Amino acid sequence: MEIIILILSGALISIAVYNLLQKQLLRIIIGTVLISHGAHLFILTMGKLKRGQPPVLKETVTSYTDPLPQALILTSIVISFGITSLLLVLSYRTANENKTDNMDQLRGKSNE
């Protein structure tokens, strides 16, 4: 099960890198979203997937699930949502003011 999630995480990160290298602002934003999702899956997998075990240690429990990866992922989800909303607002304003979302045109390069 962990191998499948690691492969999915690697696929998400590779697709994200491909999108980050594109020229359109929306694809760059999609790349940042995908790379954060890939990182979430990676953190979850590195925390060792244990099913059916409680996340807190009591006197009767001998084996438990580590709650730290879930806490890190929840914090990361909130941060990535804020970053995504900020990037969407900035790209919307940039596209409205400059009438383009092409990174080469925004840098001042011609379409040649």
In a domain, 22, yes or no: yes
pLDDT at 65: 77
pTM of the model: 0.81
Q: Which tens digits make up the pLDDT trace of 32-67?
A: 999 999 999 998 888 877 777 777 777 777 777 778
pLDDT above 70 coverage of the chain, percent: 96
pLDDT at 79: 95
pLDDT given at position 75: 94
Written as one letter, the residue type at 91 is S
Residues 47, 14: contact at Cβ < 8 Å?
no
Q: Is residue 108 part of a domain?
A: no
pLDDT at 111: 61
Q: What is the structure's pLDDT at 69?
A: 84
What's the CATH number where 85 sits? 1.10.287
Task: Give CA 83 to chain center in angstroms.
Answer: 10
Residue 67 belongs to domain spanning:
2-51+62-103
- Residue 56 belongs to some domain of the structure: no
Domain count, the chain: 1
Specify the pLDDT at position 112. 55
Evaluate whether residue 110 is within a structural domain: no
